A and B are shown apart, each in its own frame.
Chain A
Amino acid sequence: MSKAVVTDEKLPDLPPPSNTVGPVHWVKENLLSSPGNIALTIFAAWLIYMLVPGTLDWTIISAVWAGGADACRANPEAACWPFVWTKWEQFIYGFYPAESRWRVDFAMLLLVVGIAYLMIEKTPGKRYMGLFMLVIYPIIAWILLYGSVFGLEEVKTNKWGGFSLTLVIALTGIVFSLPIGVVLALGRRSNMPAIRSICVVFIEFWRGVPLISVLFMSSVMLPLFLPEGVSFNDLLRALIGVALFSAAYMAEVVRGGLQAIPKGQYEGADSLGLSYWQKMRLIILPQALKIVIPGIVNTFIGLFKDTTLVLIIGLLDLLGTVQAGIADPNWSIKSVPYTGYAFTALVFFICCYGMSLYSRKIEEKLHTGHKR
């Protein structure tokens, strides 16, 4: 009688072989797996060695953190952060009157709260909040910033500036470009020749000219065509230019999404007897827009950074106020321009990376197996 070697208990899992775990293995597998990989690793290490210590030293370790211009003058070979602290309010509010700055704060607070509400999962009434942010919020923000109603003192747009102006331009572009872009994309795929050609001409015109020339035309040429004394607000001109420009880009992004929807979806919607708008609103656009979220956000980020071009038409956005601050003779120190530009870059990076993160989150949330 042979003895059965059967156990009804699960044997404990053995640890993986020692040469497939641990940091040494990770390094071998990921950094040194092939000659090409080794070369790249060495190159990357060299790059990090060249860039990181110097950057850290300049921006943080040796940098001047407190004091005034004199402290920076004593140490011109490292970042001069007091410059940013001193001019902080200008960088944020531009020349907005100090006693009315709470209005800008309030508008920004509303924006942050609104976006947070939309980002946090499972908050009730998201749809209405989204609608509120897209339609009502811009009106509230405009009233808050411009004033002249409800007893708020009027603050002319030439006093606007700094980061708040950057936000105004970028958000106007974002809020207007998506709906206009969707309409243009639908128009371009329309069967009606008149609508189609109008949309094609519009899109191709705005996509074909650089934003800088759009801004330039709006600020330099337009006033010459208008009779003397009649003048459009220059911020408004820039806003219209930016919105139309980004709408054209958005239209092409959305059209890409529309074309990616299988024909069966269109036909299915038709066979259900849905009207054109029902079909688009219920079947096609929700799928199409979902596919092109990366493209849409890409356009938004591009738009956000393009807002700095308003500098050349004399609007002082964040970059403009930083450059104007650099020109202050009290701060004419070697490190000041570099610090100013580093600060600007940091602010823009935070904003753009934030948008990118948010879009990734939305993508995940809306993920229904269409991605591979």
Chain B
Amino acid sequence: MKLKTLLAASAVVVMGSSIAGAATLDDVKAAGAIKCGVSQGLPGFSNPDDQGNWTGLDVDVCRAMAAAVFGDASKVEYVPLSAKTRFTALQSGEIDVLSRNTTWTFSRDNNLGLEFVGVNYYDGQGFMVRKDLGVKSATELSGAAVCTNTGTTTELNVADYFRSQGMDYTVVAFEKADEVVAAYDAGRCDVYTTDRSGLAAQRVKLSDPDAHVVLPEIISKEPLGPAVRHGDNQWGDIARWTLNALINAEELGITSANVDEMRNSDNPGIKRIIGADSELGAQLGLSSDWAYNIVKQVGNYGEAYERNVGPNTSLKLERGVNELWSKGGILYAAPMR
């Protein structure tokens, strides 16, 4: 009897505290910064620059959220997470948003208590081989030795692909990307497979980057996007519409350079988003200039892309499918009205 009372009491305590922790926005405002889970260093997506500031496409999502909530993109506390600790950190409340090159999948969304709010980079797994192998397509890779990272979806995708094609292969797997590249460069395997953004990032580290070719096949869908804890819809909406605001701003031609002029524009679509009397912020529990702050301080999606991973960076990633829907890509944000 006593034990039962004790159990009931502790259950109340546990539930009580989880209810208290439900309003992430209030917690974030009280803490004065958004706790943002990032990688321990992933070129172009989240990595510290020479001055020790975190930069990257994933980092910009967090900065945009901070601009939306606080009006100051620098109010982010970065928590570097390994691939293995990232979900627990979000579940346990150590971070408020996970923006760490994470593929949106069914089981992650449902099993792990996460809520993916959108996609900030459409990736897909590809293959890189030496040009002198003469391979033109991934279907010719039967019997190949494949270099890849352990513990990620890439390994599983390779297994699926080769099985469905009825081909043999051997896996040469490593923990770190640097080791995979070194092994591939040293000729320990014929094929290097990872997400195509990763292939681009690692290719420049090869002895002779031009002696390698990326095969046309993309064997998996890897929609990478930020995630929040399941159950706090307001916080989820803030994350989702911050991302949408970035994309919509590009579509409407609002950039960090012209946002002040655009603020007085007559275009009703622009006015609704960044106008001085915008009513959208209030619906999220934010100030009316939330979207203005995002674009002013972080830029639109296109600017973030060019700055971090675009053709002028060392990653040299073309926009491809990450172009706006109106320009031939699949980036399509819900309208803000």
Contact = CB atoms under 8 A, between A and B. Distances in A.
The answer to whether A and B come from one shared complex is yes
Interface of A: 76-77, 86-87, 89-90, 94-95, 156, 158, 216, 219-220, 223-224, 226-231, 234, 311-316, 320-321, 323-330, 332-334, 336-337
Contacts of B206: 334
B205 interface: yes
Nearest to A221: B88
B326 interface: no
A95 B48 contact: yes
B94 interface: yes
Interface stretch (B11-19, B247-255, B261-269, B289-297): B11-19
B44 interface: yes
A326 B201 CA distance: 11
Contacts of A332: 43, 201-202, 204-205, 314-315
A218 to B, nearest CB: 11
Contacts of A228: 17-18, 21, 92-93
Nearest to A215: B85
Closest 5 CB pairs of A and B: A327-B41, A223-B92, A324-B41, A229-B21, A327-B47
B208 to A, nearest CB: 10
Interface in B29-71: 39-44, 47-50, 52
Nearest to A224: B92
B176 interface: yes
Given A224-B92, A234-B94, A329 B314 contact: yes
Given A229-B93, A234-B94, A324-B47, 20 more contacts: A95-B48, A95-B52, A220-B85, A224-B88, A224-B91, A228-B92, A229-B21, A231-B92, A314-B79, A314-B89, A316-B40, A324-B48, A327-B42, A328-B43, A328-B47, A329-B44, A334-B205, A334-B206, A336-B205, A337-B205
A163 to B, nearest CB: 14
B41 A229 contact: no
Contacts of B91: 223-224
B84 interface: yes
B17 A229 contact: yes
B20 A229 contact: yes
B51 to A, nearest CB: 9
B313 interface: yes
Contacts of A313: 82, 85
A313 B79 CA distance: 11
Interface string B302-314: 0000001100011
B118 interface: no
B315 to A, nearest CB: 6
Which of B50, B178, B204 neighbours the largest number of chain A CB atoms within 10 Å of its CB?
B50
A219 B49 contact: no
11 contacts: A158-B79, A219-B88, A220-B85, A229-B17, A316-B40, A323-B41, A324-B41, A327-B43, A329-B47, A329-B314, A329-B315
A323 B13 contact: no
Interface in B92-132: 92-94
A337 B178 CA distance: 7
Contacts of A230: 17
Contacts of A95: 48, 52, 78
A224 B13 CA distance: 15
Contacts of B176: 323
Mostly, the A contact residues are helix
A89 B93 CA distance: 30
Contact of B88 (A220, A311, A323, A327): A220
B49 A328 contact: yes
A204 to B, nearest CB: 27
Nearest to A234: B94
Nearest to A223: B92
A117 B201 CA distance: 49
Interface in B204-220: 204-207
A227 B133 CA distance: 56
A329 B93 contact: no
B183 interface: no
B80 A316 contact: yes
B93 A231 contact: yes
B327 to A, nearest CB: 24
Contacts of A223: 88-89, 91-94
Contacts of A321: 48
Contacts of A86: 50
Nearest to B87: A220
Nearest to A322: B41
B77 interface: yes
A77 B1 CA distance: 74
B81 interface: yes
A333 B203 CA distance: 9
B198 to A, nearest CB: 11
A208 B120 CA distance: 44
A330 B80 CA distance: 20
Contacts of A330: 49-50, 314
A42 B210 CA distance: 42
A160 B18 CA distance: 29
Contacts of B182: 337
B71 to A, nearest CB: 21
Nearest to A83: B50
A314 B92 contact: no
A169 B82 CA distance: 19
A325 B178 CA distance: 12
Given A229-B21, A328-B49, A329-B313, A312 B84 contact: yes
